[in-house]
Amino acid sequence: MLAFTVFGSFWLEIVLKTSVLKRWKRALISILPISFFFLVWDAYAIAQGHWFFNRDRMLGIYGPFDIPLEEFLFFIIVPMAAILTLEGVTTVKPHLREKEFGKDEKK
């Protein structure tokens, strides 16, 4: 399912030249703190028996705290897709960026 998310939004980087991946450090600074919080939450929920992953539907690669690789990727790919989508919309409709953030001083 993560592949659909990648194919559904990462094309915006190429077609609309959003430059999100070019600014990967900025994207990671935005994504990683929140991802860390949710991974801690997942670890707690798994340890308490409140949450589980169907091992028959996983790749079988597990990281710290018995969290599957897919979950780690989810917390990176989905927010990146959201950022790409927002950047894509404001690339096509720049007036939305100006309304929210003010005029772009580079122009």
> How many structural domains are present in the chain?
1
Domain span including residue 21:
2-92
What is the reported pLDDT for 74? Answer: 94
Q: What is the DSSP letter of 63?
A: -
Q: Is residue 98 part of a domain?
A: no
Can you give the pTM of this predicted structure? 0.78
Residue partners of 13: CB distance under 8 A and separation at least 6: 19, 20, 21, 84
Domain membership flag for residue 69: yes
Residue 9 lies in a domain: yes
Task: Please give the backbone phi and psi of residue 75, each rounded to the nearest 5 degrees, phi first.
Answer: -75, -5
The CA-to-CA distance between both ends of the chain, in Å, stands at 39
Q: Is the pLDDT of residue 102 over 70?
A: no
102 in a structural domain: no
The string of pLDDT tens digits covering residues 29-55 is: 999 999 999 999 999 999 999 988 898
In a domain, 103, yes or no: no
